[in-house]
């Protein structure tokens, strides 16, 4: 979520004048740097509870709100125990989480009423339940599953009720999610997709009714601008990819095969237009991004030597979210997009000195420029965040 979206959500939480099922108020920061373990115990316990939310929400630990004083805002700008994202990551890094999979948490600062509060955002995850394999600080227990119900965390000396633990495992395996959401989860589990007779079709080992099927489309022989990243004289190959649950078609998209079939991927499903010039990209929320990773992981060794594979993300970038894409395009429209740069792709002879060829080259060059500007944009955003943390 963007900083503005987070601020809006936090203000709504504060306006309720009480804690809730995904947010918690703290008047001041945890004391985790002294020899006493109380602050470290509380922080670790709170983070695990927020990581194990049953609902699909980011957990919010809002620091600088005094619930006992009608949720008054308390400025944490000079709090000696204040921490940033790097320190939060460092705090969680050495904790003995099962499988080495840790909650993802970061710190954002928000200005309210001319005061600064901090928010520890614990990202929603399908890897629930998070739990420890060894006791931490003699208090946060190994193999105890902590969660949050209503406005209360699971007591530190207990494990959650059985029905809550069951719900967290169901969340992990997507059992109660719609079929397409389950596809998203299963596609991430790349190694458990089994090829059907060695063909370009697969079923999921633990739920064979989930299938990925491909079919060559011999009616297509054209180019999109991102096809110019290959060096093969052969044109791209186009395939239909279909996600099927039993025999029901749940989703379909196109695959493109480049460099003589050595590089195959799902096409980007998001497009932004600059005038009449399209710019295509993935977002991490898209199922096509999951399919891009599916083929990347499955055929990584085969793809390593392909030029198209190496430069693909320099013309088809990956946005963290639709919100990032929206903010980036708003920012980029204030900049000089293309400027002067050489064409570094491969244009087939049949398109040379043609209007279609000129358009493909223009789109390719703009895509390179925009992808480079995305790095610049992210760098600027990171620098602004660091300045905010230092102030």
Rounded Cα distance between 307 and 227, Å, is: 11
Q: What is the distance between the alpha carbons of residues 218 and 213, in angstroms, rounded to a whole number?
A: 16
What is the rounded CA–CA span in Å between residue 26 and residue 30?
9
* Vertex 44: Cα angle to 158 and 106 (nearest 5): 140
| Phi (first) and psi of residue 242, to 5 degrees | -125, 130
C-alpha to C-alpha distance for 140 and 45, rounded to whole angstroms: 6
227 pLDDT exceeds 70? Answer: yes
Looking at residue 196, its pLDDT comes to 86
- Number of C-alpha atoms within 13 angstroms, CB side, residue 164? 19
| The model's pTM | 0.72
Question: What is the model's pLDDT at position 193?
Answer: 94
Task: Look at 163-177, 214-228, 344-358 and tell me which has the smallest mean pLDDT.
Answer: 344-358
Q: What is the pLDDT of residue 391?
A: 52
The pLDDT, as a whole number, for residue 229 is 86
Which has more pLDDT, 235 or 68?
A: 68
Say how far apart CA 374 and CA 270 lie, in whole Å. 15
Q: Which region, left, alpha or beta, applies to residue 204 given φ > 0 means left and ψ of -120 to 50 means alpha?
A: beta
Give percent above pLDDT 90 in the chain.
62
pLDDT at residue 348 is higher than 70: yes
**Dist CA 125 CA 7 (whole Å):** 21
Closest CA to 267 of 291, 294, 299: 291
Phi and psi at 261, nearest 5°, equal 90, 0
> Where is pLDDT greater, at 270 or 391?
270
In tens, the pLDDT along 154-171 reads 999 999 999 999 999 999
Q: Tell me: pLDDT of 141 over 70.
A: yes
Q: Which residues contact 261 (CB under 8 A, 6 or more apart)?
A: 237
The domains located in the chain, with CATH, are 3-173 (3.30.950), 179-390 (no CATH)
Confidence of residue 221 (pLDDT cuts 50, 70, 90): confident
Q: Does 208 have pLDDT greater than 70?
A: yes
Closest CA to 184 of 250, 238, 104: 250
Mean confidence (pLDDT) of the chain: 89
Share of the chain above pLDDT 70, in %: 94
Query: Residue 287: which of 251, 237, 245 has the closest Cα?
Result: 251
pLDDT of residue 239: 95
Query: Tokens in use for 170?
Result: 């169901």
Of 293-297, 338-342, 345-349, 360-364, the poorest mean pLDDT is in 338-342
Instruction: Tell me the per-residue pLDDT of 15-27, one tens digit each, with 9 for 90 and over.
Output: 999 999 999 999 9
How many CA atoms are closer than 13 Å to the CA of 283, on its beta-carbon side? 13
Cis peptide before 129 (omega within 30 of 0): yes
Q: What integer is the mean pLDDT of 332-358?
A: 80
Helix (H, G, I), strand (E, B) or coil at 235: coil
* Residue 361 reports pLDDT greater than 70: yes
Does residue 371 carry a pLDDT above 80?
yes
Q: What's the pLDDT tens digit per position in 295-312?
A: 988 877 667 667 777 888
| 390 pLDDT more than 60 | no
């Amino acid at each position: 979520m963007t900083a503005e979206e987070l601020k809006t959500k936090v203000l709504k939480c504060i306006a309720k004048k009480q804690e809730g099922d995904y947010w918690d108020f703290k008047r001041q920061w945890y004391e985790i740097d002294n020899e006493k373990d109380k602050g470290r115990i509380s922080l670790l316990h709170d983070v695990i509870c927020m990581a194990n939310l049953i609902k699909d929400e980011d957990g919010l630990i809002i620091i600088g709100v005094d619930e006992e004083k009608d949720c008054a805002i308390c400025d944490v700008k000079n709090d000696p125990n204040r921490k940033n994202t790097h320190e939060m990551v460092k705090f969680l890094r050495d904790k003995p989480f099962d499988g080495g999979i840790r909650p993802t948490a970061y710190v954002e600062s928000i200005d309210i009423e001319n005061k600064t509060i901090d928010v520890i955002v614990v990202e929603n995850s399908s890897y629930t339940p998070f739990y420890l394999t060894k006791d931490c600080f003699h208090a946060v227990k190994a193999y105890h599953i902590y969660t949050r119900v209503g406005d209360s965390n699971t007591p530190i000396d207990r494990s959650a009720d059985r029905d809550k633990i069951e719900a967290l495992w169901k969340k992990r395996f997507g059992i109660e999610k719609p079929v397409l959401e389950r596809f998203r989860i299963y596609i991430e589990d790349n190694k458990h997709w089994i090829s059907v007779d060695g063909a370009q079709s697969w079923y999921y080992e633990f739920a064979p009714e989930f299938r990925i099927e491909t079919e060559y489309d011999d009616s297509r022989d054209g180019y999109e601008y991102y096809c110019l990243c290959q060096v093969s004289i052969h044109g791209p190959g186009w395939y239909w990819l279909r996600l099927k649950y039993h025999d029901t078609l749940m989703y379909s998209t196109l695959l493109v095969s480049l460099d003589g079939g050595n590089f195959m991927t799902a096409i980007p499903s998001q497009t932004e237009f600059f005038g009449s010039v399209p710019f295509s990209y993935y977002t991490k929320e898209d199922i096509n991004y999951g399919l891009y990773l599916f083929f990347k992981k499955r055929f990584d060794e085969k793809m390593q030597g392909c030029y198209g594979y190496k430069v693909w993300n320099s013309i088809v970038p990956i946005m963290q979210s639709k919100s990032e894409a929206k903010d980036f395009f708003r920012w980029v429209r204030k900049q000089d997009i293309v400027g002067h740069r050489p064409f570094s792709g491969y244009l087939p002879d049949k398109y040379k000195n043609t209007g279609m060829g000129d358009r493909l080259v223009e789109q390719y060059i703009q895509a390179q420029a925009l992808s480079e500007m995305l790095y610049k944009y992210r760098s600027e955003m990171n620098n602004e965040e660091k300045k905010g943390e230092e102030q």
